[in-house]
Amino acid sequence: MVTGDLFKKLLKGKTIAVGAIVSFLISYSLFFGFLCDRQITGFKAYYPFVFILVWAAAFLLCVLLWALIDRINLKVSKKDEKAEEEIGAKKKITLFFVSAVLIFAAWVPCLLASWPGFFSYDASKEFVQIWYPEVPIWGRISIIHSALLLLCCKTGNKLFGDFNSGIALFSIIHMLLGAFVLAYETVFLYALKRKKYIYFVSVCYFMFAPVIALFSGCSNSTIFGSLLATILMLRFYEIFCLDSLKEKSIARKIAGYAGFAILAILTCHIRSSFSFLFSLMTVNVLVKKIKKPQKIIYMAAVFIMIFAFNKGIVRLVNAENPPDSELFSIPVQQLANVYVKNGEAAFSEDESEVLFKYFAKGHFDFYCPWCADAIKLGLNDEEFEKRPGDFWKLWIKKGVRYPFEYLEAWNYLTYEAWYPFCVPDGYTRRNYIESDYTSDYFKVNLESPAELDSKIPALYEAIRRFSTETRIYKIPVIGQICTIGWQYLFLLFTLGYLFRSKRKELRFINAANLAYFAMMLFAPLVLVRYHLLMFYLFPLTLASMFGNQADFEKGE
């Protein structure tokens, strides 16, 4: 029960405002996700009333749970008013290596089961373009990641005479990076909160959470980039929010800022979408009342270096630039949905002429509600680059006239990321295979030139089932930990609590995490690997709601 002062908090203006926004987004997720998951089309007259009821229930649940968290923070702090002593450098180093060893060791069975590792997604394309000089390099794939793959494959081929050993080496490097980054996060949280249980929960989560363990040996550059983005976020918080370099020597400061710059450049090269995160960091430094303008100049300089490095390395290897249509999955899908639903009658003669400059008429037959690739790949990129203005004018006109078709296209394309009671199976549905029990949550098959040589066949079969059988995600806790929708709702709930309670600790990381999630909804389809940052930062999100009484009272 919520009583006394805690009950009064339910009536505060900030609680009502933040609760209304958070509960609206939760209600949207539940209501429209339910419709999309069951393929219910058309907007019924009674839907607004149902939505309002769901919104009211979500609001009440949010404010009650936030008040309960307040009570927990108060109760725990009264029993333990003194936090543990500040952690020294030697203890941090010891905990870091212990955590890394434990996390890496827990992942080894997955590597042995999938030996030489999950060489899938874009990894096969990377191999072809670097192993065969006559194949042009594609600028969308990380060139440094491809170079690392080439080094590993050549090393394995030279030492053992096959590609499997080189790919296994590549997978092990991915696992080592993951273990080090996530071990750093556990120590970061322990040093910040000084609570042993937070450390143990974090280590256990990174060791045994299925998504973390399965992706550890995956060779895709998205995993590599997500890990680098994780540590980039932590280092930013340490340097710019905690001012960890303030008392350091000049040499340590130079090393710290130089290391952060190199990390930022590498992260944004491995996966260009992480440039968005760095943009948020730059804005955060700019908006804050920072006494030293040098930090703003520094962030701007690093931003320029990121751009210059990406452009420079593409030119150096003469890589082919990806088409601009990569960024326009949602608008393309929305226009296609208007045409598919209403036909040519929805377009005037002039509008039809513009539309068919960008698309072949028969291409709309391939429209798939769950994946934008089918339509986006048919976009005439050359025409788009010549006359982008005509496309955007047409898109705005149709959006004004057909808002529900646009909303429907958005919902169907993205709902697997924000509806908590389903798992993303974009690859399965893209191939027009629909089933009540099959999915493609995680791609367990290997692509050429890797050859599966499982050392633990029974575990590999279990992993394959985990990837393809949706009923597994109905299991309590497993479903919540492993699906994007649950991660999103928890992050949204946590961020709402931080704003409502005026707690600033770790707020920026959670806000940037949520903003990046929103940006990735513009991808051509929903895949777990696009949203790994939320899974990697889950312990931080969880820990940010709880703290010492002094922090709680000051609202820090």
How much is the pLDDT for 24?
Answer: 96
**Which DSSP string corresponds to 91-110?**
HHHHHHHHHHHHHHHHHHHH
Q: Which of 547, 448, 437 is nearest to 502 (CA)?
A: 547
How far is residue 439's CA from residue 424's CA, in Å, rounded to a whole number?
7
Q: Residue 552 sits in which domain range? A: 1-79+486-514+525-556
Q: Is 191 found in the same domain as 100?
A: yes
Q: Are 536 and 209 a contacting pair, CB within 8 Å?
A: no
From 368, 384, 417, the end of a domain falls on 417
How far is residue 481's CA from residue 391's CA, in Å, rounded to a whole number?
41
Confidence of residue 1 (pLDDT cuts 50, 70, 90): very low
The verdict on residue 65 lying in a domain is yes
Buried/exposed 100-137: b ≥16 CB within 10 Å, e otherwise: bebbbebbeebbbbbbbbbbbbbbbebbebbbeeeeeb
Written as one letter, the residue type at 172 is I
Confidence of residue 290 (pLDDT cuts 50, 70, 90): low
Checking if the pLDDT of 128 tops 50, the result is yes
Q: Which of 136, 135, 130, 133 is nearest to 152 (CA)?
A: 130
Q: To 10 degrees, what angle do helices 196-208 and 163-193 make?
A: 160
Confidence of residue 126 (pLDDT cuts 50, 70, 90): confident
Distance of CA 414 to the CA centre of its chain: 13
Confidence of residue 464 (pLDDT cuts 50, 70, 90): confident
How much is the pLDDT for 83?
Answer: 53
How much is the pLDDT for 554?
Answer: 40
From 370, 401, 417, the end of a domain falls on 417
**Which DSSP string corresponds to 461-520?**
HHHHHHHHBGGGGGSTTHHHHH-HHHHHHHHHHHHHHHHHTT--TTHHHHHHHHHHHHHH
Q: Is 533 found in the same domain as 463?
A: no
Q: Which of 402, 307, 386, 400 is nearest to 354 (CA)?
A: 386
Over residues 176-215, the pLDDT tens digits come to 999 999 999 999 999 888 888 889 999 999 999 999 998 9
Average pLDDT score over residue span 334-345 = 89
Q: Is 95 found in the same domain as 191?
A: yes
How far is residue 102's CA from residue 207's CA, in Å, rounded to a whole number?
7
The verdict on residue 58 lying in a domain is yes
H helix intervals, 209-324: 210-216, 221-236, 250-270, 275-287, 294-316
Q: Is 89 found in the same domain as 207?
A: yes
Checking if the pLDDT of 267 tops 50, the result is yes
Over residues 409-444, the pLDDT tens digits come to 999 989 999 999 888 876 666 554 444 556 778 877
Q: Is 509 found in the same domain as 458?
A: no
Average pLDDT score over residue span 143-169 = 89
Checking if the pLDDT of 456 tops 50, the result is yes
The verdict on residue 403 lying in a domain is yes
The verdict on residue 101 lying in a domain is yes
The verdict on residue 408 lying in a domain is yes
From 401, 417, 433, the end of a domain falls on 417
Query: Mean pLDDT lowest for which of 65-79, 105-119, 520-534?
Result: 65-79
User: What's the whole-model pTM score?
Assistant: 0.91
Checking if the pLDDT of 538 tops 50, the result is yes
Q: Is 75 found in the same domain as 37?
A: yes
How far is residue 535's CA from residue 529's CA, in Å, rounded to a whole number?
10
The verdict on residue 249 lying in a domain is no
Checking if the pLDDT of 325 tops 70, the result is no
Average pLDDT, the chain: 86
How much is the pLDDT for 549?
Answer: 40
Checking if the pLDDT of 498 tops 60, the result is yes
How much is the pLDDT for 10?
Answer: 59
The verdict on residue 365 lying in a domain is yes
Q: Is 91 found in the same domain as 207?
A: yes
410 vs 77, higher pLDDT: 410
Q: Which of 348, 383, 343, 349 is nearest to 361 (CA)?
A: 343
Q: Is 149 found in the same domain as 57?
A: no
How much is the pLDDT for 494?
Answer: 95
Average pLDDT score over residue span 132-142 = 80
Query: Mean pLDDT lowest for which of 295-304, 316-325, 381-390, 414-423?
Result: 316-325
Over residues 20-62, the pLDDT tens digits come to 999 999 999 999 999 988 888 777 778 889 999 999 999 999 9
Checking if the pLDDT of 477 tops 90, the result is no
Q: Is 99 found in the same domain as 214?
A: yes
The verdict on residue 284 lying in a domain is no
Give strand pairing partners of 314.
none
Confidence of residue 380 (pLDDT cuts 50, 70, 90): confident
Q: Are 209 and 481 a contacting pair, CB within 8 Å?
A: yes
Q: Is 449 found in the same domain as 403?
A: no
How many domains is the chain partitioned into structurally? Answer: 3
Checking if the pLDDT of 77 tops 80, the result is no
How much is the pLDDT for 427?
Answer: 65
List of residues 6+ apart from 347 with CB closer than 8 A? 339, 355, 398
Q: Is 105 found in the same domain as 188?
A: yes
How far is residue 114's CA from residue 453's CA, in Å, rounded to a whole number?
7
How far is residue 546's CA from residue 556's CA, in Å, rounded to a whole number?
11
Average pLDDT score over residue span 501-510 = 88
Q: Is 214 found in the same domain as 92?
A: yes
Confidence of residue 485 (pLDDT cuts 50, 70, 90): very high
Q: pLDDT above 90 covers what percent of the chain?
A: 43
